[in-house]
C-alpha cells in the first residue's frame, strides 16, 4: 500500500471524518476511512511485551523481565536487542504501535506500577529506554514512551494534582523523556492520567506543545492513556492528537459543537489529524496489514534472548563466605511461596499471557544432579491462587470450560453463544465482544473438575467487576452477587475478594461452577476517577487451608537435612499491580519469620527475592546470600537457577535504592493523594540523591551489585570540551578474580560550588563491559557536558551550566570506592532544547 499524501488527504477529508480520526474505534484500533485508503492502526500493550488485541484469552506472547529488571542490566546493547525482539513481537501480533516503554520515576517503593519503570534515576531510565526504543523502531513499528509526566502513583491517579517545582520537573521527571527524544526519537508519546501543577497532562499546553513539541522538536503522535481524556476542545488545543480507547467519550459530537461554537478552529483540528496520519503512514510503511491475524514467535532464539536478559538483570546483593554459587552435586531444598509459583510479571496492563513460564523449583530440578526437596513454608498470596492449573474439563483438558450467554442463569435453556477452554481462572473482559451482544450486558459460566490430593478444608474466593457466585457440587460456597464490596481488582473498578470454605476429600472429583454477570450487573458504586471497564471481569481461585506454624516447622525440619537451601520469597502480581499502591514495604505475613528461621537453621541458605520494587529485609544480616531476581518474564525460573549454580556470573546492579525502612524514603510523607493533591516535597532529592544529602543509611545503595569474580579500576582520564559539548571518561577495568564476568562502570558528576542546592553527585553515564579472567579492558564513555553539569534555572526558565570546578567520581555503585578526577567548565552557559 502506498503512503498517504497527507496534504491531499487533509483537503479531501470532511470535518466529520477528521474528528473521527482523533479517537480510537475500540480498545486497540484507530479509525479507518476506506474511501480515502486510510487504514486502521493497531496498538498493543505494553512495557513487558506485546500482548495483542485481547486482555482475555489472547494469543500467547513473549514476556520480558519487568522494567526495573531491565534497568538493572545497565546494558544498552542488550536492551537494544530486547527492543528488536519486542518490535518483532509487535509485528507478530499484527500491530503497528507498542504502548511502551514506561519511564516514570520510582519516587517511592510503594508505587503500584513501579515495577514497570526502569529506575529512580533519570539518566539510567532515559538511556535504557532509548536503547529499547531504538530496537523497537528498527523493526519498523512505533514505540510509545509513557506516561508524560508524573504518573508516579496509582492512588486517585486520574485526578490527583502533582504539585512540583519546575526544577524537579525538569531535572528528574521530564529528563528521561528528554534523553529519549534526543537519542531515540520515539514515534509516539502517551500522556499521564494526572494533573501537573493544576492542569491535566492531557490538556497541558505547557507540557505537550511548549516543551515536547516546540522545545524538544517531537514530531510524532501524542495519545492519551486509556480513558485519560477529560475535555474535548481543551485537549485538542493543548496538542493531544488521539483519544484512546474508542469509541470516543469526549470527542465526536462534542468537538463538532466546539467547532460550530468557534471554541475550536479547524486549523487546530488539522494539526492533530496530521499527526495521526503520520502515524498511519508509519503503519503503512511497516508492511503489517490492516487487521492482520495475530501470531507467535515462540522460538528457541526468543527463549535464549529472554533468558539472557533475565540473567543479566539478577543482582547479587550479598554473598558471605562465598555461599554462592551452589554445587549441583549437593542436596538442596527449595522452600517458599515463589518456589513453585512463576512470578513472571506484575499486574495490570503490563501483564500478558506468556508463551510459557518457568518456576525456580522446576528450573533447579532440571539442572541439579541430586534429588530436590520442597516445602511451601509460607503462603504469599493476597488473592487465592488461580485454579486453572488444578482444574480439568469434562474432556480431561487442563483448565476449565467457559460458556457465554445473552441471558442470566434464571432463564431456562438459555442459548450458548460461545464455548471455549481457558487455562486460567482470570478473565478480564473489557475488550470481549460477540456479534449477538449489544452493549456490555452478558453472562458466562466457568466449569471444571477439582480433585484434591489431601483431605481438608479448602478456601475459595472471587473478585469481580460484575457479579459472580461459586458452587462446589451445587453448593453455594462464595457469594459475590447479593452483597458486594468495592475493592482494588480490575484497575480499581472491581470488588474485594469474597471468600468461602468447604471440606473436601482426597481423590474425589468435585464440580466447580462459577456463574458470572458482566459489569452492568454490579451493585456497588465505582470510586471517583476510576475507569469503568464496562465489560467487567472475574478472578477466582482456591487453596487448601494451611496452618502457618505447621508449614514453617515442616520447612525448618527439611532445611536441617540438606546441604543447601533456597528460599524463594518476594512479592507477586497480587501485590504489585496497576490500579493500587502498596500500603507498605512488607513481605506477606509469616514470610519474614520463615526466612529468619531457615537462615538460623542452615548456614548455606540463599534468599531469592522476586519483586519490582524494594521489600523490607529486616533479616538481611542473618541471610548468608541474597539475590534480587525481580519479575523475570518467561525465563524467570531458568535464569535464577543459572545464577544460583554459577552457570551465569551475576552482573546486575540495583536500578533503585533499597531503604532500611519505608519511613526513610524521601516521598514517605507525601505519597498518595491528599484530598486531590500530592506535593513532591523532596524536590530534586529523589532516591540516592536524598539518602546521600542527609547521610541516611540504606540497606543496599543504588548501583550496588556483586559478582562471583572481582574487578579493579585504574588510570582514570577525564577530558571536557565545552565547545564540542563533550565529557569523555576513560578507565581500565581489570578482572582480578577467578572467572570471567561483567562489570558496570558508573560515572557520577559533582559540582564544586553550585549556585543552588544540588545533590552530592548524580549519575551521568555508564557502560557495561565483559572482562575475561585476568583480562584488562579499556572503557570509554562519552557524555554531553551540558547534560552532565547543568541544573534548571527557574529564574531564566532554562538550563544553566555554571563556570567552575566539577568532579568525576567513577565506581561500581553510587557508594563504590571511587576514582576521582576534576575538570573545569570555562564559562557559564544557559541553554534549552535537547
Phi, psi of 221, deg, nearest 5: -100, 135
**Residue 831 backbone dihedrals phi, psi, to 5 degrees:** -155, 165
Q: Which three cell numbers stand for residue 772?
A: 575475561
Neighbouring-strand partners of residue 811: 746
Active site residues: 225
The string over 647-672, giving b where at least 16 C-beta atoms fall within 10 Å of a residue's C-beta and e elsewhere, is ebbbbbbbbbbbbbebebbbbbebbe
DSSP letters for 580-629: B--SSSPPSTTHHHHHHHHHHH-SSEEEEEE-SS----TTGGG-SEEEE-
Task: State how beta strands 315-319 and 625-628 pair.
Answer: antiparallel
Task: Give the separation between CA 598 and CA 589, rounded to whole angstroms.
Answer: 16
First to last CA, the chain: 35
Backbone torsion region of residue 491, taken as left when φ is above 0, otherwise alpha when ψ lies between -120 and 50, otherwise beta: left
- Run of H or E including 73: helix 67-73
Does residue 669 have a cis bond before it (omega within 30 degrees)?
Answer: no
DSSP state of 116: G
Chain centroid to Cα 681, Å, comes to 25
The H or E element spanning position 317 is strand 315-319
SS3 345: coil
Bridge partners for 733 per DSSP: 713, 777
Please give the Cα distance from 660 to 617 (Å, whole number): 8
Give the CB-side neighbour count of residue 588, counting CA atoms within 13 A: 23
Q: How far apart are CA 504 and CA 456, in angstroms?
A: 6
In whole angstroms, give the CA distance from residue 442 to residue 440: 6
Distance from C-alpha of 153 to C-alpha of 613, rounded to nearest angstrom: 13
Beta carbons within 10 angstroms of residue 505's beta carbon: 11
Distance CA 405, CA 102 (A): 38
Contact 568, 594 (CB under 8 A): no
Distance CA 616, CA 685 (A): 22
Amino acid at each position: 500500500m502506498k503512503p498517504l499524501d497527507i496534504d491531499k488527504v487533509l483537503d479531501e477529508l470532511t470535518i466529520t471524518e477528521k474528528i473521527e480520526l482523533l479517537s480510537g474505534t475500540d480498545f486497540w484500533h484507530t479509525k479507518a476511512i476506506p474511501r480515502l485508503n486510510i487504514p486502521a492502526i493497531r496498538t498493543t500493550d505494553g512495557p513487558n511485551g506485546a500482548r495483542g488485541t485481547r486482555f482475555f484469552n489472547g494469543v500467547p506472547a513473549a514476556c520480558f523481565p519487568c522494567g526495573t529488571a531491565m534497568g538493572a542490566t545497565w546494558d544498552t546493547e542488550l536492551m537494544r536487542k530486547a527492543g528488536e525482539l519486542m518490535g518483532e513481537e509487535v509485528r507478530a501480533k499484527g500491530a503497528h504501535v507498542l504502548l511502551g516503554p514506561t519511564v516514570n520515576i520510582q519516587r517511592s517503593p510503594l508505587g503500584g506500577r513501579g515495577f514497570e519503570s526502569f529506575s529512580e534515576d533519570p539518566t539510567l531510565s532515559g538511556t535504557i529506554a532509548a536503547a529499547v526504543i531504538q530496537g523497537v523502531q528498527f523493526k519498523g513499528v512505533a514505540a510509545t514512551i509513557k506516561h508524560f509526566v508524573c504518573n508516579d502513583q496509582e492512588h486517585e491517579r486520574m485526578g490527583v494534582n502533582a504539585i512540583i517545582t519546575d526544577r524537579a520537573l525538569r531535572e528528574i521527571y521530564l529528563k528521561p523523556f528528554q534523553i529519549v527524544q534526543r537519542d531515540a526519537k520515539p514515534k509516539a508519546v502517551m500522556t499521564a492520567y494526572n494533573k501537573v501543577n493544576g492542569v491535566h497532562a492531557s490538556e497541558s499546553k505547557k507540557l505537550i506543545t511548549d516543551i515536547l513539541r516546540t522545545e524538544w522538536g517531537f514530531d510524532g503522535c501524542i495519545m492519551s492513556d486509556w480513558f485519560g481524556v477529560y475535555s474535548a476542545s481543551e485537549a485538542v488545543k493543548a496538542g493531544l492528537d488521539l483519544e484512546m480507547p474508542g469509541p470516543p467519550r469526549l470527542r465526536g459530537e462534542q468537538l463538532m459543537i466546539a467547532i460550530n461554537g468557534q471554541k475550536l478552529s479547524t486549523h487546530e483540528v488539522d494539526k492533530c489529524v496530521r499527526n495521526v496520519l503520520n502515524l498511519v503512514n508509519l503503519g503503512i510503511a511497516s508492511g503489517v496489514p490492516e487487521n492482520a491475524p495475530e501470531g507467535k514467535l515462540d522460538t528457541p532464539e526468543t527463549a535464549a534472548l529472554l533468558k539472557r536478559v533475565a540473567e543479566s538483570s539478577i543482582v547479587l546483593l550479598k554473598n558471605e563466605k562465598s555461599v554462592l554459587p551452589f554445587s549441583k552435586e549437593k542436596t538442596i531444598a527449595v522452600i517458599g511461596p515463589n518456589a513453585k509459583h512463576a512470578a513472571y510479571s506484575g499486574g495490570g496492563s503490563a501483564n500478558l499471557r506468556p508463551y510459557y513460564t518457568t518456576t525456580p523449583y522446576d528450573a533447579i530440578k532440571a539442572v541439579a544432579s541430586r534429588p530436590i526437596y520442597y516445602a511451601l513454608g509460607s503462603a504469599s498470596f493476597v488473592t487465592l491462587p488461580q485454579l486453572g492449573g488444578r482444574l480439568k474439563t469434562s474432556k480431561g483438558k487442563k483448565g476449565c470450560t467457559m460458556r457465554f450467554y445473552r441471558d442470566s442463569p434464571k432463564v431456562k435453556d438459555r442459548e450458548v453463544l460461545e464455548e471455549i477452554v481457558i487455562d486460567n481462572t482470570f478473565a478480564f473482559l473489557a475488550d470481549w465482544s460477540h456479534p449477538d451482544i449489544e452493549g456490555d450486558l452478558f453472562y458466562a459460566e466457568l466449569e471444571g473438575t477439582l480433585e484434591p490430593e489431601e483431605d481438608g478444608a479448602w478456601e475459595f474466593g472471587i473478585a469481580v467487576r460484575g457479579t459472580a457466585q461459586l458452587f462446589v457440587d451445587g453448593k453455594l460456597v462464595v457469594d459475590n452477587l447479593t452483597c458486594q464490596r468495592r475493592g482494588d481488582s480490575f484497575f480499581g473498578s472491581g470488588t474485594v475478594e469474597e471468600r468461602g470454605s468447604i471440606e473436601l476429600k482426597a481423590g474425589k472429583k468435585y464440580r466447580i461452577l462459577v456463574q458470572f454477570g458482566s459489569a452492568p450487573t454490579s451493585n456497588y458504586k465505582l470510586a471517583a476517577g476510576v475507569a469503568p471497564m464496562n465489560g467487567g471481569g472475574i478472578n477466582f481461585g482456591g487453596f487448601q487451608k494451611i496452618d502457618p506454624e505447621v508449614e514453617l516447622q515442616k520447612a525448618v525440619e527439611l532445611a536441617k537435612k540438606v546441604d543447601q537451601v533456597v528460599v524463594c520469597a518476594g512479592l507477586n502480581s497480587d501485590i504489585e499491580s496497576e490500579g493500587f499502591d502498596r500500603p507498605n514495604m512488607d513481605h506477606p505475613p509469616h514470610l519474614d519469620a520463615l526466612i529468619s528461621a531457615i537462615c538460623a537453621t542452615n548456614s548455606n541458605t540463599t534468599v531469592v527475592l522476586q519483586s519490582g520494587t524494594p521489600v523490607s529485609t529486616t533479616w538481611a544480616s542473618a541471610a548468608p546470600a541474597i539475590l534480587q531476581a525481580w519479575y523475570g518474564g518467561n525465563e524467570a525460573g531458568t535464569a535464577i537457577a543459572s545464577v544460583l549454580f554459577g552457570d551465569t556470573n551475576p552482573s546486575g546492579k540495583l536500578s533503585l535504592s533499597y531503604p532500611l525502612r519505608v519511613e526513610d524514603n524521601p516521598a514517605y510523607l507525601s505519597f498518595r493523594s491528599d484530598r486531590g493533591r500530592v506535593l513532591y516535597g523532596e524536590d530534586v532529592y529523589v532516591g540516592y540523591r536524598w539518602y546521600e544529602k542527609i547521610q541516611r543509611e540504606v540497606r543496599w545503595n543504588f548501583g550496588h551489585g556483586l559478582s562471583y569474580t572481582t574487578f579493579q579500576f585504574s588510570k582514570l582520564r577525564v577530558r571536557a570540551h565545552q565547545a564540542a559539548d563533550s565529557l569523555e571518561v576513560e578507565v581500565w577495568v581489570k578482572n582480578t578474580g577467578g572467572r570471567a564476568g561483567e562489570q558496570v562502570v558508573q560515572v557520577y558528576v559533582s559540582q564544586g560550588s553550585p549556585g543552588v542546592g544540588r545533590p552530592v553527585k548524580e549519575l551521568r553515564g555508564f557502560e557495561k563491559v565483559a572482562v575475561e579472567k585476568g583480562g584488562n579492558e579499556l572503557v570509554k564513555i562519552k557524555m554531553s557536558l551540558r547534560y552532565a553539569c547543568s541544573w534548571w534555572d527557574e529564574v531564566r526558565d532554562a538550563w544553566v551550566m555554571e563556570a567552575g570546578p566539577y568532579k568525576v567520581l567513577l565506581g561500581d555503585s553510587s557508594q563504590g570506592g571511587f576514582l576521582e578526577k576534576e575538570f573545569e567548565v570555562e564559562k557559564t552557559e544557559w541553554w534549552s532544547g535537547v
